[in-house]
């Protein structure tokens, strides 16, 4: 049996205006995954540390993503050698499920990335993203790519189109740092999507696509003022904000101390803020702590640079 140890990063999806299309990878927190290739067919999840995840394999994102990859691999191999392949998974979950920082994406991205290496790299990055998206479909009811893409590709990514799947990596300014607060309340992505409107006003759409375009331009120009002005979501945030305690107070206080701006991380409950430089980002995280400490809600905070590499492996054994 051959195995690999993988580190799979947390991600922030949407980045305010880019619902379902923009996401970035964080340096912290990250899941650790041990993946073993065996000649016993099938996929087995041997152990999960750090949380309890569904025992039913059909509901486990890592299982589902890997199953899609294995099926495709077997189709590719049909006319070649008859090799029996299976995988054993051990997950160390440092990213809390339901946190809004891409916990399910990290599991799905990590296993497909590791399996590809153990199989000799038969799949392209876009294929790996597709497999991992099937995990997201199980977790949230929608195969969105704005967490799995940055988890696999690293940096900041943009989904130009879902059909056909067309994803590109954007320039991420060196000095861009992220502060995240994870209030430990449960918000299911499926519920947070259910409450959204299916039709939007033309005036809101115009404002939103102006912001998306300008945010991308801001990243390329390393224009922090433009990034700051573009971190505005007039479509999703006004509906989801009510799910998160003290959301607007967080935003106001973090911007007062110097954050460029931010919003809900993915479907929440985590809230993210972008800052220029680690010094300001740490001050922003302190403010997040100050806003939340009087509330009767447990929480965790993170201060992280952007993870340029995404998922990575540390050793093969
Ligand atoms: N774009 C997705 C959403 C991300 O906001 O529903 C979920 O993490």
pLDDT tens, residue by residue, 188-211: 999 999 999 999 999 999 999 999
* Per-residue pLDDT reduced to its tens digit, 114-162: 999 999 999 999 999 999 999 999 988 899 999 999 999 999 999 999 9
CB 254 within 8 Å of CB 272: no
Q: Positive or negative CA dihedral for 219, 223, 225, 230? A: negative
The per-residue pLDDT for 241 is 97
Q: Kindly report the CA angle at 40 between 37 and 42, in degrees rounded to 5?
A: 80
Ligand 1 probe mutation, 14, 137, 142, 167, most atoms within 8 A of CB: 14
280 in contact with ligand 1, CB cutoff 6 A = no
CA of 266 to the centre of ligand 1 (A): 4
Tell me what percent of the residues of the chain surpass a pLDDT of 90: 85
Which residue has the CA at smallest separation from atom 7 of ligand 1? 266
Ligand 1 probe mutation, 267, 269, 271, most atoms within 8 A of CB: 267
- Residues 220-227, mean pLDDT to the nearest whole number: 98
Cα distances (angstroms) measured from residue 143 to each of 114, 126, 134, 215: 21, 14, 6, 24
For the chain, the maximum distance between any two Cα atoms, rounded to a whole number of angstroms, is 64
Report the run of H or E that residue 10 belongs to, with start and end: strand 2-13
Ligand 1 probe mutation, 25, 266, 270, 272, most atoms within 8 A of CB: 266
CB 134 within 8 Å of CB 143: yes
Question: pLDDT band for position 55 (50/70/90)?
Answer: low
CATH numbers and ranges of domains, the chain: 2-171 (3.30.230.10), 176-305 (3.30.70.890)
The per-residue pLDDT for 1 is 62
* Per-residue pLDDT reduced to its tens digit, 259-281: 999 999 999 999 999 999 999 99
10 in contact with ligand 1, CB cutoff 6 A = no
173 in contact with ligand 1, CB cutoff 6 A = no
104 in contact with ligand 1, CB cutoff 6 A = no
Which residue has the CA at smallest separation from atom 1 of ligand 1? 20
């Amino acid at each position: 049996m051959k195995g690999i140890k993988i580190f799979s990063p947390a991600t922030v999806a949407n980045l305010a205006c880019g619902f379902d299309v923009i996401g970035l990878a964080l340096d912290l927190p990250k899941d650790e995954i041990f993946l073993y290739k065996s000649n016993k067919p099938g996929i087995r999840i041997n152990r999960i540390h750090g949380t309890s995840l569904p025992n039913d394999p059909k509901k486990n994102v890592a299982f589902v993503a890997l199953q899609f990859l294995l099926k495709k691999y077997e189709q590719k191999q049909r006319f070649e050698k008859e090799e029996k392949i299976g995988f054993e998974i051990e997950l160390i979950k440092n990213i809390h499920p339901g946190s809004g920082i891409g916990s399910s994406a990290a599991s799905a991205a990590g296993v497909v990335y590791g399996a590809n290496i153990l199989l000799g790299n038969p799949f392209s990055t876009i294929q790996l993203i597709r497999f991992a998206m099937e995990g997201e479909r199980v977790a949230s009811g929608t195969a969105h790519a704005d967490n799995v893409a940055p988890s696999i590709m690293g940096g900041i990514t943009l989904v130009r189109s879902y059909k056909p799947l067309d994803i590109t990596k954007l320039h991420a300014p060196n000095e861009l740092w992220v502060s995240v607060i994870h209030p430990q309340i449960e918000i299911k992505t499926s519920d947070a999507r259910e409450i959204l409107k299916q039709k939007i006003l033309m005036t809101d759409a115009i404002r939103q696509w102006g912001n998306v375009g300008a945010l991308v331009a801001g990243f390329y120009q390393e224009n922090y003022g433009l990034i700051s002005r573009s971190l505005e979501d007039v479509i999703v945030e006004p509906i989801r904000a009510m799910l998160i305690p003290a959301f607007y107070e967080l935003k106001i206080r973090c911007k007062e101390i110097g954050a460029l701006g931010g919003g809900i991380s993915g479907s929440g409950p985590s809230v993210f803020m972008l800052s220029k430089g680690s010094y300001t980002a740490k001050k922003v995280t302190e403010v997040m702590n100050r806003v939340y400490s009087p509330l009767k809600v447990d929480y965790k905070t993170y201060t992280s640079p952007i993870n340029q590499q995404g998922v990575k492996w540390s050793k093969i054994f």
